[in-house]
């Protein structure tokens, strides 16, 4: 299970950072449930729309649902990226949200689980968000201060 690999890397960091908290930015309710069951109140997350069951493979941004507020999803993604950029370390996969956070905090220690597990061979695959953010670093810094 791919989520077990994330837990493996989180466990390695938690072992040396005994008071660390985990900010969770995911669209997967299953992953959220797994991490809350394992780490309890060390997990910090935001109340937002998450994928469940048969929708997990679709991706939240592709989901078609009558009551889904796409503007709110966009706000949630931006806020999560800004909060991730303030973290001390990042455990992530190939995610434009994670890549955006890394562009805002380029010196943040991080591990790309997809690369570490050999599921992909190159962690420098261009991210459309990342490429755009290279040109917007200054304005995003100001936005981050407004949100936080």
φ and ψ of 58, to 5 deg: -80, -45
Which pLDDT band holds residue 127 (cuts at 50, 70, 90)? Answer: low
| Least confident interval from 58-72, 103-117, 129-143 | 129-143
pLDDT (mean) for 105-124: 78
Yes or no: say if 105 and 130 are a contact pair by the CB < 8 Å rule.
no
Instruction: Reply yes or no on whether the pLDDT at 5 is more than 80.
Output: yes
Q: Which two tokens stand for residue 98?
A: 């994670």
Quote the mean pLDDT of the chain: 78
φ and ψ of 93, to 5 deg: -115, -160
**24-38 pLDDT per residue, tens:** 998 888 889 999 999
Instruction: Reply yes or no on whether the pLDDT at 139 is more than 80.
Output: no
Distance linking the first and last C-alpha atoms of the chain: 35
Higher pLDDT, 46 or 148: 46
Which residues touch 100 (CB under 8 Å, ≥6 apart)?
Answer: 81, 84, 85, 127, 129, 130, 133
Which pLDDT score is estimated for 29? 87
Beta strands in the chain (DSSP E): 22-24, 43-45, 90-92, 110-112
**This prediction's pTM:** 0.76
Q: Which two tokens stand for residue 133?
A: 């953010």
């Amino acid at each position: 299970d791919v989520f077990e690999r994330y837990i493996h890397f989180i466990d390695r960091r938690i072992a040396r950072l005994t008071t660390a908290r985990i900010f969770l930015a995911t669209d997967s309710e299953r992953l959220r449930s797994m991490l809350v069951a394992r780490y309890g109140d060390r997990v910090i997350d935001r109340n937002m729309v998450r994928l469940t069951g048969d929708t997990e493979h679709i991706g939240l941004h592709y989901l078609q649902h009558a009551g889904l507020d796409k503007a709110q999803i966009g706000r949630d993604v931006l806020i999560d990226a800004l909060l991730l950029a303030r973290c001390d370390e990042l455990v992530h996969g190939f995610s434009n949200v994670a890549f955006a956070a890394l562009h805002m905090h380029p010196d943040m220690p991080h591990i790309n689980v997809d690369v570490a597990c050999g599921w992909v061979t190159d962690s420098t695959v261009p991210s459309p968000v990342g490429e755009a953010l290279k040109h917007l670093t200054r304005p995003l810094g100001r936005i981050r201060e407004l949100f936080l």
